[in-house]
Amino acid sequence: MKKPAPPDVYAAELIEPERVFQLKKGLRLTIFTVCWNVIEGLVAITAGILANSVALISFGVDSFVETTSSVAVSWRLADEIKHQSPERAEAVEKITGRITGVILLLLAGYIVIDAGRHLIGFGEEADKSFIGIALTGLSVIVMPIVARAKLKVATSINSGSLRADAIETIACTWLSATTLLGLSLNALFSWTWADPLAALLIVPLVVKEGIEALKGEHCCGCEGK
C-alpha cells in the first residue's frame, strides 16, 4: 500500500508554483543577508576595536541588529512555504521587532555617549582602518543590489515583512556610506574627528529604525496569498 504523502507536500500543492518560487527566492535573499551581516559584524567590530573607531564598532553592532530582522523574515517565508500558521510567524516578527527596537535605541545611546566623549577629547583618537574602508566600501556595492532584489520579491508576493527587511538593507547602505566617509577622511587627512562625527550622523537613522520597530511598523501581517 502506498504511503500517504507528508503534509508539507499537500501544502505546497495549495500554493501557486510562481508564489512558491518567489517565496524561495526571498528566503535565499534573507539567508544571504544573515550570513553577510554576521561576517560583516564580526569583521567591523574587530577592526573597530583595533582602530579605536566608534563609527566602525557602531556599524558592526548594527549588522547584528539587522541579522535579527532577517532571521524573523526567513522564518516567516519558510512557514508559508510549508503552509504553516501565518499567525505564529506574525507573532514572531512582532516579538523580534520589539527586541530589535530596544537594541537599536541602546545602540543610539552608546553612539552619542562614546562619540561625544571622543569629540571633546576624553577618548583616544581613532586610527586609520583600511580593513574598515574595504569592508564598508564592499557593503556600499553589495547591499543596494540585495535590497532591490528583496523589494522586487516583496512586491510580487505582497509581503510587508520582506519589504521592511529590504528597507533595513537600504538603511545598511546609508550606514556603510557614512562610516566609509568618516574612515576615509581620517585615513586621507588624519581628521580623527571625522570618525566620531560620522558615528553621530548615523544616530537619527538608528533612532528612527528603533522607534518604528517598537511600534511594529517593521512587522506586517498583511501578506497576501
pLDDT in tens, 163-210: 878 887 888 888 888 889 888 988 898 887 887 888 788 788 888 878
pLDDT at 156: 92
Neighbouring residues of 32: CB distance < 8 A, sequence distance ≥ 6? 146
Is 51 inside a domain boundary? yes
Instruction: Select the highest-mean-pLDDT range: 40-44, 83-87, 125-129, 210-214.
Output: 40-44
If you ran DSSP here, which 8-state letter would residue 122 be given?
A: S
Nearest of 174, 177, 170, 178 to residue 197 by alpha carbon: 178
Is pLDDT at 86 greater than 80 in this prediction?
A: no
pTM of the full structure: 0.74
pLDDT range class, residue 84, cuts 50, 70, 90: low
Question: Using CA atoms, how far apart are residues 75 and 152, in angstroms rounded to an integer?
Answer: 19
pLDDT computed for residue 20 by the predictor: 87
Angle, alpha carbons 184-188-189 (nearest 5°) = 115
Cell 500517504 locates to 4
Residue 221, in any domain of the structure: no
- CB 123, CB 114: distance < 8 Å: yes
Residue that the C-alpha cell 550570513 belongs to = 35
Domain membership of residue 187 (yes or no) is yes
The alpha carbons of the chain give a radius of gyration, in whole angstroms, of: 20
Q: How far apart are CA 148 and CA 131, in angstroms?
A: 26
Return the pLDDT at 201. 83
Domain assignment of residue 100, yes or no? yes
The number of folded domains in the chain is 1
Q: 543610539: which residue's cell? A: 108
The whole domain housing 148 covers 16-215
Is 8 contained in some domain?
no
Hey, what's the cell of 140? 556600499
Mean pLDDT over 20-33 rounds to 94
Question: Does 225 map to a domain?
Answer: no
pLDDT > 90: what percent of the chain? 26
- Any idea what the CATH number is for the domain that residue 106 is in? 1.20.1510
- Burial pattern 119-153, b for ≥16 Cβ within 10 A else e, equals beeeeeebebbebbbebbbebbebbeebbebbbeb
Res 34 pLDDT > 90: yes
Cβ-contact 103, 65 below 8 angstroms: yes
Domain for residue 163, yes or no? Answer: yes
pLDDT digits (tens, 9 = 90+) for 116-169: 877 786 656 678 899 999 999 999 999 999 999 999 999 998 887 788 788 878
Backbone angles phi, psi at 219, to 5 degrees: -125, 115
